Chains A and B, each alone.
Chain A
Amino acid sequence: MAIINYASREVSCKLVYYGTGLGGKTTNLEFIFKQLPPHVRGDMVSLATPTERTLYFDFLSINLGHVAGFKTRFALYTVPGQQEYLASRKLILSGVDGVVFVADSQRSKMAENVLSLHDLTANVADYGFNINELPLVMQFNKRDLSDISTLNELETTLNPRKCPSFQAVAKDGVGVIDTLRCVSKLVLARLA
């Protein structure tokens, strides 16, 4: 839920990075954290298992500057991708303003991507909302690997809604900021 504070002239929005386990959601946030100077972002909070899999969520707060006289603050969350953490994923989607779906481009991961997308749709629907009404950006990650689906296959299978999409290699930062820029714009434009 976006908060517009007329006293402090500040807009706060919640973005969630969704997708399969080990797909690169945390890597996106880590790159953003490293890329932004300390005065425009908070500490990155990771609730991870000892093997560095996300257990509950990662969290990063960033200030992007001023729009229409308002300071803009985005709270970025990731969800745990593993199947068993369905309840956690649903909790984290509470009040979300925009979603980045991080798809793993590897051919072997296509079925998992599809499942995760269905899971997202169902979880948003449980809040009484249609996923098609929510700003959504697709990120096709791991484009540097060898056995990957073609862009056309990914678009056809995962993005029939034709949401804005980006190719990415999140570990190298490729496509990460473009994705963030796009979803931020969609979310802010929706508040108008």
Chain B
Amino acid sequence: MVKPGGTLILTEAGINSLNAICAHLQRDTGARAVILIEKSGQLITAQGQTGTLDTVSLAALISGSFASSRALARLLGEKHFRSLYQQGHNESIFVVALDTTDSLALVFGSNVTVGLVKFKTMQALPKFNMQMEALYTETKPPFNPTNQGIDNLF
């Protein structure tokens, strides 16, 4: 669960590092896309064939689906369901929770086996965990919007 009102700072170095890990996993698995989702459902980053995917909506829906499965686990007395696999005819999704409770989702086609996706994802998980934990300790001061700048949005 995420405390409302917090801020996650993605520095250039941090996001570049995450992009590199995502891109490596995407190449390793042959997945269509690797999507990293912040625990409240917002997209952190995505790599792969993202041009044809609505990654922002996907992130919100995957996060909602995964949050539901976590709540289900609690109802059943399980500590958590660590991963979730949704199998489609042409496209499937594998989602796994990070230690920070953010989610990592892989969208992959029928030409890729779920076994490979699971294996390679689990192998890459420590790198994601380490990088995300580092991001949560970032203290770079946030941006400074002026009132006039905000007014100009509308």
Residues of chain A at the chain B interface (Cβ within 8 Å): 1-8, 11-12, 14, 42-43, 45, 47, 56-57, 59, 61, 64-70, 72-73, 75, 77, 87-88, 91-97, 124, 126-129, 133-134, 177, 181, 184-185, 188-192
- Whether B50 is near chain A, meaning CB under 8 Å from some CB there, is no
B78 interface residue, CB < 8 Å from A? no
Task: State which size class the interface on B falls in.
Answer: 35 or more
Q: Report how far A87 CA is from B69 CA in the complex, Å.
A: 12
Residues of B whose CB lies within 8 Å of any CB of A are 1-12, 15-16, 38-44, 54, 56-57, 60-61, 64, 67-68, 71, 140, 142-147, 149-154
Question: Which residues of the partner chain B approach A67 to less than 8 Å between Cβ atoms?
Answer: 143, 145-146, 149-150, 152-153
Task: Determine whether the beta carbon of B144 is less than 8 Å from that of A95.
Answer: no
Task: List, in ascending order, chain A residues with CB within 8 A of B15's CB.
Answer: 5-8
Q: Which residues of B contact A95 (CB under 8 A)?
A: 2-4, 6, 38-42
Known A7-B15, A59-B61: A1·B42 in contact at CB below 8 Å: yes
Chain A residues contacting B42 (CB-CB under 8 Å) are 1, 3, 12, 14, 75, 95
A120 to B105, CA, bound (A): 30
Show 11 A/B contacts (Cβ-Cβ < 8 Å), sorted by A.
A4-B7, A4-B9, A6-B140, A7-B15, A57-B64, A93-B4, A95-B3, A95-B6, A129-B4, A188-B150, A189-B145
A189 touches B147 (CB 8 A): yes
The 9 closest A-B pairs by CB, nearest first: A95-B40, A95-B2, A7-B15, A5-B10, A67-B149, A64-B153, A67-B145, A7-B12, A96-B4
The answer to whether A45 touches B57, judged by C-beta atoms less than 8 angstroms apart, is yes
Are B153's CB and A129's CB within 8 A? no
